Chains A and B, each alone.
Chain A
Amino acid sequence: MSSTSLTLGNMVFAVVQWAILLILLRIWVYKPLLAAMGQRRENVAKQIRDADALRDEADRIRQEAQKLIAEARDEAKQIIAQAQREAGEQGKRIVTQAQREASYRQKAALEEIAHEQEVAVAAIRGQVADVVVAATRKLLARNLTGNDQQQFVQEILQDVGQLQ
C-alpha cells in the first residue's frame, strides 16, 4: 500500500465524507446563514422603502406647509388692507361728525347771542320808555328855564346812563 494505490474503500470514504459534510453543513450552517442573509437583504430593502415613503411624506408636508404659509400671508395682507381702509373711513366719519357738531354748536351759540341781544334790547326799550315817560312827566311839571333845561337834560342823561 502506498499513496498511489487505489483502494475502493478509501474512494467510497472520500465521497461519503463529502456527502455527510454537505448534509450536515446544509442543515446546521448554510440554512441559517442563507436565511440570515436573505433576512438582511429584506431588511435593507424594507428600510430603503420606508425611507422613500418617509421622504415622500416629508415632501408632501413641506408643500402643504408652504401653501399654508402663502395663504396666511395673503390673509394677513387682506386683513391689514381692510384695517387701513376701515381706519380711514372711520377717521373721515369722526372728522365729519366733529365738523357737523362744531357747526351745530356755533349756530346754537349765535342763536343764543341773538336771543340775548333781543331780550336786552327789549329791556332797554322798556326802561327807556319809562325814563322818557318820567322825564316827560317832570318836564310837564316844571316850567323850565334855559339853565334849568340844560340841567334837566343832564339829569335825564344821567338816569339813562344808570340804566345801562
Chain B
Amino acid sequence: MNFSLTAFQWPPFMTGLISMAVVLAFGLLAVRRVTAGVPSGMQSLMETMVETFQDLVGQMAPPALAPDLTLLSLTLFLLLVVANLIGLLPLPGIGTRWLHSPTAFLSIPAGLAVAMFILIQWAGIKYKGFGGWVYGWVMKPFPVVGLVVNALEQLVMPVSLAFRLFGNILAGELVLRMTTHAPQGIAGVLTVIGVGTLWLVFSLVISMIQALIFTILTVAYMSIQASSEH
C-alpha cells in the first residue's frame, strides 16, 4: 500500500462516473411521470426504497437529523450498489478485460470513509455543541484517558468501513476472474460454469450487502455521535 498526492487512477474514475450516471438515470426514470396518484413501477420501487430508508434511519437517528440523513444514506447506498455491481459485468469482445468496480480501488472507499468520518463528527458538534463534542471526546468514559479510547474508536471506524468494503469487492472480483483462468478441457468448462456461476451469484449478494453495511454503519455512527448519552 502506498500513498500518492499527485497520482490519479483512471479506471475507478471512469467506472465511478458510470455508476453516478446509472444511479441518476434510475432516479430520473423513477420520477419521469411522478404522480401523487397511482405510481408507475419505477416510481413505486424508488418510493419503497425511500420509505425503507426513512424507517431505517428513523429508528436510529434523532428526528431532526432523520430527513437529511435519509437522503444522504440512500444516495450513498444507491451509488455503492451500482459501483459494486459494475465489477461483475464482463466486457464481451475485449478479451480478458473486465470492468473494475470503483470500490475495488482502496482510494474510493477510503475517500468515502474519510467523508463519513467528518460527517459523523459534524453531527456530534451540531447536536452536542462544540463544547459537548470536545467533552465527549476527552472526558468520556474517563477524563483524559477517554481521549485515547475515543481516538482509537473513532479512527478505527472509518478504517474498518473502508477496508471492509474494499476487501469484499476486490476479493469478489479476483475470485471471479480466477475462475476464467481455469485449465482447458471439460474440467475447465465445468469450473467456469459451476464455480463461476455460484461465485457470481454470491458476489451479487455480497455487493448489495456490503453497500448496505457501509451505509447503515455510517447512519449508526452518526446517530450515536448525535445522541448526548454517549
Binding site for B on A (CB under 8 A): 1, 3-15, 17-18, 20-22, 24-26, 28-30, 32-37, 39-40, 43
Contacts of B78 in A (CB 8 A): 25
* CB-CB nearest in chain A for B7: A7
Whose C-beta in chain B lies nearest to the C-beta of A26?
B71
5 tightest Cβ-Cβ pairs between the two chains A and B: A11-B111, A14-B111, A10-B107, A39-B36, A29-B27
Q: Which of B52-89 contact A (CB under 8 A)?
A: 71-72, 74-76, 78-79
User: Chain A nearest CB: distance from B67 CB in Å?
Assistant: 9
Interface of B is mostly: helix
Query: What residues on A are CB-neighbors of B6 within 8 Å?
Result: 8-9
* Chain B residue at minimal CB-CB distance from A9: B8
Contacts of A6 in B (CB 8 A): 1-4, 106-107, 110
A13 touches B111 (CB 8 A): yes
Contact with A along B16-31 (1 / 0, CB 8 A): 1101100110011011
Partner of B2, one of A5, A12, A32: A5
* Segment at the A interface, from B42-50, B134-142, B145-153, B189-197: B42-50
- Classify chain B: how many residues form its interface, as a range: 35 or more
B108 to A5, Cβ gap below 8 A?
no
Residues 81-133 of B at the A interface (beta carbon under 8 Å): 100, 102, 104-112, 114-115
Instruction: Judge whether A18 and B79 touch: CB under 8 Å.
Output: yes
> Provided the pairs A18-B112, A37-B50 are in contact, do residues A29 and B30 lie with their beta carbons within 8 angstroms?
yes
Classify the secondary structure of A's interface with B.
helix
In contact, B76 and A30 (Cβ under 8 angstroms):
no
Complex contacts, A7 vs chain B, CB 8 Å: 3-4, 7-9, 107
Q: When A10-B108, A14-B108, A15-B114 are in contact, do A1 and B7 touch as well, CB less than 8 Å?
A: yes
Q: Which of B24, B36, B37, B75 contacts A18 (CB 8 A)?
A: B75
Which residues from chain B contact A20 at a C-beta distance below 8 Å?
Answer: 20
Residues A21 and B20 in contact, CB atoms below 8 Å apart: yes
Contact A37:B8 (CB < 8 A) given known A14-B102, A21-B20, A21-B24 = no
Contact, CB under 8 Å: A32 / B9: no
Q: B residues within 8 A CB of A3?
A: 100, 104-106, 170
B155 touches A (CB below 8 Å): no
